Structure 1
Amino acid sequence: MFVKHLLPAFVAIGSVAAQSSCSSKTTTINSQDDVSKISGCRKVEGSVVLGSESGATIDLTGPREITGDLIVRNNGQIQNLQSSSLESIGGKFEINNATSLNVISFEKLTSATTVEWVSVTRLDTLTLGPLTKAKSVRLSDTFLNTLDGFALSTVTDLKLDNNRRLSKYTSELTSLDGQLVIQANGLSLEVDLPKLVWITEMAIANVTKFSIPQLQVVNGSARFDSNFFETFSAPNLTHTEDGDISFVGNGFLKNMSFPKFTDLNGGLLIANNTGLDRVTFFPKLEKVTGAIKLRGNFTEISFPSLDNVKGAVDISSTADIRKSCEKLSEFAPRSQGGDGKIEGVFTCTANNDKANEDTDQSTSGSGQVDGSDENDENSASGVVLNAALFGLVAVAAVASAL
């Protein structure tokens, strides 16, 4: 039952103005005529659902607020969805499988709890308030080339994927409490987050630029796979609270910089970044609570400030890194003849033609890294260097730190 509650009317300069709220668990809109159910209501207390055959244009002008959800699902007819009055959606603004929709215009919309647009394959025109308040945003498989309608400073989760025309994303986000996922968008996507200071998790793939000049803390993990950038810099990042950092399969990557990074409360994985020849970009790294695993074409590896690694250190390069291995062996477990700064197994392999083939992402264990000792030692054509090769005490590869 759809109920309209008229609020007390008042007289102002000879005219009578009325405000109203409409209450219904779900209001279904199957045509523009059905919008009359809510057009006279300032607030819709409940959800609004557009039917699968609602017509080419739906104008929801009238309400300023929908307390529940606004949902469009499996609608192949709608082309234009708009409202010149709606300011707030208390629940989810969901559009799913609306393959003809190419215009969304909500010029006053500034707030929604969740925005989830998936398989809106022709959407290329977007007007929002802009949207400044939302907890979760997902834009997947759209035809948008800009996200200027979103002006969020904080958000819990943000996911951008398969938006093939999106070439640039700049956001004023200062913090992100959940996950940031950016992957499989336009081949030349540049991401700029100039004010981001704190983030929980991020997974970034297929971008040509990723800028985080103010980022100080990653609470969880940061993963960068199959990107196209040549350089990566985190000039103000100091530590992770509880998670890994990984760079895997970034074929154009040549340089990285983490000048202030001191504590990694997780593991470090750098693998199959074939243009990266030096791992010297953690000058102040002191503590790693997980493992360190490096695979690549490295000619030099150094961690000059390293004081403690709780897990294994497992390194392999196609190049001759025997000098780097010798230096790092000084940190090996005491059972391997080192000073014990590394508590797990220490393994360092030079001249291994297959170094880039092993990208197993296990870096958080306190012992050996999965698949890192016997396979390398038996299959590598190069030399396995550990503390024993430098006149130190040799032990079995599975030994734990004393």
Structure 2
Amino acid sequence: MLVNYLLPALAVVGSAAAQNGCTFSSTVTISNQAEATKIASCKTVKGSVLIDTGAAGAIDISGPKEITGDLKVLNNGLIETFSSTSLTTIGGDFTLRNVTVVSSIQFASLKSVQSLSLQTCLRLKTLELGPLTQADEIIISDTSLEKVDSIDLATTKRMDINNNRQLTTFTSKLGSLSDSFNLNSNGIGSGLTVTLPNLEWIANMTIANVTKFDVPSLKVVNGSARFDSNFFESFRAPNLTHTESGDISFVGNSKLANLTFPVLKTIGGGLLIANNTKLEELNAFKNLRTVRGAIKLRGSFDDVDFSSLNEVNGAFDISSTADITKVCDNIQELSSDGGNGKIAGTYTCTSENEKANDDTDSTTSGSGSVDGGKDKPNGAAGFALNSALLGLVAIAAFASAF
């Protein structure tokens, strides 16, 4: 019970509590607003704070400026608003999970947390933070938020924003992201417009159900970049030069008519373009020189330009609903079967294949695994998406386990 932990601490620190902080031997559990006011004199709460499942109505924990541990609200269907005017720092995790009726989270001074996780807060419409400028991880899933503009990070490790039906715009000054970036199933009906003007370096990203994805400064993808089932008509990465180790993938983007990668020269993994039915010309990769994995292309395109291609460590497998006989002949000149051998693996080209768009699998018509290139067993004959990319597909399931 809160009193059992609180009174001994207050007896020791007395009136100096506001200066020296309050130390608790275990997590402090707050069951109602009256108990919340008992930590108001603590400048620093040295420990973690848990809001009980039975806490109801408005819970305000104003007073402390810092919580050195976690601040959590779990499995609560009674809290309507959660706030603090004073709290600036949470040394651990700030988590609300399965808090089903909370409509407002207002921590107007909060600038730093270890992680922010808002999951299954179905009625949450208002999120007001300091703004938040420091966090290693952001997870926002299954809320009614219309904006998240009080999250203002320049760098982070992981960001996962998914299944927020009312969220239609996301703009961030984010410059680098060192682990994974997942955007999926936001802005249902209208999609999500994403603007990241400062993003230069990212590890891995999976982008789905997005209306616009603007990354004008992006230079390097360290792992993989996957774009599935988006609504944008065009995608540009005007400054992307290479991926270090992973794949580039565009699958099932029904409105996509134009791709532009003017300075992309190296893909560290494989290239998969499939079932983008409006994409009639595939000339985005005319300056691409090296693919260390395999290339698989499926679509309705009638023109394909890989005029600078100098090395493919894996297979090259292409099929279109249109007549691409001339394309097949041109790329044949790069194959190991009658060409100059720049394509190390199996070369397959199929013209006027009415079922070309049905094949979105990540394997080619060859056999074996090619991800990572020549060092893999049978590396010249197949295609497999980088494991880091496949891990991103399951990120929402992983997040739910927190």
TM-score interval (norm. to shorter): 0.7 to 0.9
Q: In the alignment, which residue of structure 1 is the partner of 2:315?
A: 312
Q: In the alignment, which residue of structure 1 is the partner of 2:210?
A: 207
Structure 1 counterpart of 2:156, one-letter code: V
Matches within 5 A, 1:278-293: 278-293=281-296
Q: In the alignment, which residue of structure 2 is the partner of 1:381?
A: none
Number of paired residues?
A: 362
Q: In the alignment, which residue of structure 1 is the partner of 2:29?
A: 28
Q: In the alignment, which residue of structure 2 is the partner of 1:42?
A: 43
Q: In the alignment, which residue of structure 1 is the partner of 2:200?
A: 197
Q: Comparing both structures, which one devotes a greater share of its residues to helix?
A: 2
Q: What CA deviation, in whole Å up to 9, does each residue of 1:1-49 have, x standing for no partner?
A: 442453996xxxxxxx951311122000000111133111000111100
Task: Verify the 8 A CA contact 2:295 2:383 in the aligned structure 1.
Answer: no
Matches within 5 A, 1:3-402: 3-4=9-10, 6=13, 19-24=19-24, 25-186=26-187, 187-333=190-336, 336-362=337-363, 365=370, 366-369=379-382
Distance 2:38 2:316 in 1: 66
Task: Verify the 8 A CA contact 1:94 1:116 in the aligned structure 2.
Answer: yes
Between the aligned residues of both structures, percent identity stands at 50
Structure 2 counterpart of 1:216, one-letter code: K
Secondary structure at the residue paired with 2:27? Answer: strand
Q: Which has the higher contact order (CA 8 A, sep 6+)?
A: 2
Gaps of 5+ in 2: 371-378, 385-402
Task: Verify the 8 A CA contact 2:18 2:44 in the aligned structure 1.
Answer: no
What TM-score, normalized by structure 2, do the two folds share? 0.88
Structure 2 counterpart of 1:153, one-letter code: A
Secondary structure at the residue paired with 1:181? Answer: strand
Deviation for aligned residue 1:328: 0.5
What TM-score, normalized by structure 1, do the two folds share? 0.88
Q: What CA deviation, in whole Å up to 9, does each residue of 1:205-244 have, x standing for no partner?
A: 0010000000000000000000000000000000000100
Secondary structure at the residue paired with 1:169? Answer: strand
Secondary structure at the residue paired with 1:71? Answer: strand
Task: Verify the 8 A CA contact 2:236 2:259 in the aligned structure 1.
Answer: yes
Task: Verify the 8 A CA contact 1:302 1:328 in the aligned structure 2.
Answer: no
Secondary structure at the residue paired with 2:79? Answer: coil
Q: What CA deviation, in whole Å up to 9, does each residue of 1:159-185 have, x standing for no partner?
A: 100100001000000000010000001
Larger radius of gyration: 1
Task: Verify the 8 A CA contact 2:294 2:383 in the aligned structure 1.
Answer: no
Task: Verify the 8 A CA contact 1:231 1:254 in the aligned structure 2.
Answer: yes
Gaps of 5+ in 1: 10-16, 372-402
Distance 2:361 2:351 in 1: 19
**1:50/1:8 CA distance change after superposition, 3 Å:** closer
